[in-house]
Amino acid sequence: MSDAILHVNSKAKIFFKFVRSGGGEDPKKLEFFLAHVEAGERDLPILRFWTKGIGNEGRKRLLVG
């Protein structure tokens, strides 16, 4: 896998856990999160896709991994 794909996958994994903990509901927390994972507003659609576009098995693997 390329470094770019691994990097997006890591961000998606962290974003998934962040959203699961309720952080995605507060705009200030979301802005803080994006700054710390070196992501921006333009990255949100792909992060949300990875969070919502995977099935239950994929989610379980993300939470365990």
pLDDT tens, per residue, the chain with 65 residues: 455 555 666 788 888 888 888 888 899 999 999 998 888 889 888 888 877 776 777 767 766 75
Q: What pLDDT, on a 0 to 100 scale, did the predictor assign at position 1?
A: 47
The pTM assigned to this predicted structure is 0.64
Q: Residue 8's pLDDT is what? A: 60
In this prediction, residue 64 carries a pLDDT of: 72
Would you state the pLDDT for residue 20?
86
Q: What is the secondary structure of 1-65 as a DSSP string?
A: --HHHHHHHHHHHHHHHHHHTTGGG-HHHHHHHHHHTT--GGGHHHHHHHHHSS-HHHHHHHHH-
